[in-house]
Structure 1
Amino acid sequence: MAHKVILDTDPGTDDVIALLLLLASPEVQLEAITVTFGMCRNTDVDHAYNNVLKTYEVVRQHCDAHPEDAHRFDHLNARPQTILSKGAAGPIAGEQALAEYFHGKDGLSNIMETHPEFSFPQPFEHPWLKETDVAAHDVILDVLRREPAKSVTLLAVGPLTNVAKVYAKDPETLARVRRIVIMGGTFDAPGNTTAVAEFNIYADPFAAHQLFSGSSTLPLLVVPLDITSQHTVSFSALILDDPKTLLQTFVSAILARPRRVLAALGYSGDVFEMHDPLAAYMVTMHAAQESDVLLPGFRTTWRDFVIERAGEHTRGMFVVDKRASIEDAGVSRARDGIVAERPTGDVNPGILRVEVLDQSSGVKKFEQHLLRRIVWWSPSL
């Protein structure tokens, strides 16, 4: 039986690659997709929402035009419709931050301008989706209430605003989740939005702090830039110069802008860092597991830190104490004086502690799995 998953997402390019991986994975059943702000300048998240619809429609039309590929998505016809819901249009607090600079004003490399054939008429009904006006955080709660405890994984690959709203409204129901896999943050690696911050945390550090404060009762697993930035795939394996099908054209088109931006920023190697797809890979690989024990090759560690929520240059930073003392990241000697011992337990109150993925089954295995599932036409295969 397929493992049930809720995907909370702000669909830009790497989110869509992660979604395509989930759609091509018979091990999982997408119960719901809840959309949040993040990728583009549209306060009611319409672009992000439409990017989910667009992705589903591309897959459907590809299968209709190429029945020889339909078996890759056949399981979707036997599954209940996935609920699709809009969520937060902005952060819990603070200024709204967007990643339009990277993904384009529509979140998909301005695909509707460069490839008008992807401007599908709206609205339309999709056989694999069930749209709803119920708010995203309530959709998440509805799924968790109706399903057996520990039977649903929540995969969060956008700003954590929707999930924080779930926690604020009904933490007991959220605790019924099997695992909350979060792509976000960075502990020791450079940031991808500022020098020290990853975008999903930067976009709503207040939501991240609120959610991570519940880590003692919630099964959180963070997948940070420290590991995702190691999992790259060559753009030449993803982008075709002469695509032959709608899906090939779609994948090639949505990755065009990130390729140009990364080159302009001076990154070498012509590779795409698979941040959200690695988190989706983690979920699909463990979908058949009856326990929370990780598969061989995967490894986690526990990290202590605080989240900077309002710093001029450090908003969204995971502040890790690297001093050779017993002090924690929240301690300022100028304010607190000499802290000779921790007041309670092993970690000071206010210090966040979460489980963090720090090793996968291998970069090559991940790359092969991703390419075989969603870009099987690649010349490199």
Structure 2
Amino acid sequence: MKTTRLRQSLMAFAIAMTLIAAQGAQSSVVTEQHESTVAPSFVQLFDRRVAEGLPQSISLSPSRHHRNAVAPSELTITSELPVHVVFPDDTGGQMFTGTWNDAPVVVTRSGDRIDIVEKDTSGIRVRVITEESNDVEENWFAAPPSAGMPDDVEPAPSPITAGGGTGRSGSLGDITDIALNGKPLMRFWIFTHDDTGADMYRTLQNNYVSWWVADLARNVLPYKVIHVIYRRNIKGVTNMSYGDEDSLDRWDNVVDRFVSREGLARTGHRRFLLFTQHSPNGKSSGVAYEYGDAALASAVGPYSVIAHEFGHTIGGLHGLAHTDFTWWLCRTNMAADSNALLANCGYYSRANIEKIRAFLPEVKP
């Protein structure tokens, strides 16, 4: 009797283990099937669509957007810009043009995120989507008044001549001045001062730089490849003292030491700007060498301050700026006069575009 019961118990145990094993195998198959059918993140989908060829559109459900969204949002990627961005941790970024629900935007794809910038004369709307959250983080930044930047130009100690040559001794062009496809490179180095905070470079890329460099690449210097290189927390560089009339000359000397240490050359195809929290010279929001390669800009200026100061280094002039009209009166990037009622247009005047192109002409390979 005991033997019979033992056999029955063992048989029941064996049957139970068989059922458990079968359920486990079935669960494993279901899990594997589930993992293989998980929808890609928005960032992954963006990369896939770009690889397939542009233009492409991607929809985002309202639940992934801000709480006021009642309909799906759609990002259309129109074209890839000849602009490459390098952030302080050496993460690379590529820029694109497109639309967000039909509004023109500039997109920066870098690391695990996508930054989508929509600019008009009233301000800047920044949407960020990361691979981790897959949600849209949206922020609106009202445009500061077009404060004007008078007295922000100084003569360059070693002026760059038309065509991109430089008067500095020993600063011959190097082979890396030619990018892929034979197009010449134009490099804009942007250093964030230690007093601006660790993440200032992201604010600069979205609010100050993306819209400017997109316009520069499309409408001003379409025959060049543009690199924007951000650097921060460099002893002897980003902790430079400033706030007096000698600040720009001091920055010029700092740049000299930096390029020497890094094995670079001041070839005329590089520009160097330090972004500070306060006025760089105690009287204006920025200052630059006219026809030089060094400039300072600050957070006390409008979002166009970097476009303005770099503009001086590539041939732009105050006197060629003008007032335009979109949905409101606006001043082009090189305007120097102050008027709180006027917005920034977000582009250079036609006269300044022609001046910049004459200073940095197309060179056939």
Q: If the length of structure 2 is used for normalisation, what is the TM-score?
A: 0.26
Higher RCO, 1 or 2 (CA under 8 Å, sep at least 6)? 1
Q: If the length of structure 1 is used for normalisation, what is the TM-score?
A: 0.25
Between Structure 1 and Structure 2, which shows a larger proportion of helix residues?
Answer: 1
* Greater Rg by CA: 2
Between Structure 1 and Structure 2, which shows a larger proportion of strand residues?
Answer: 2
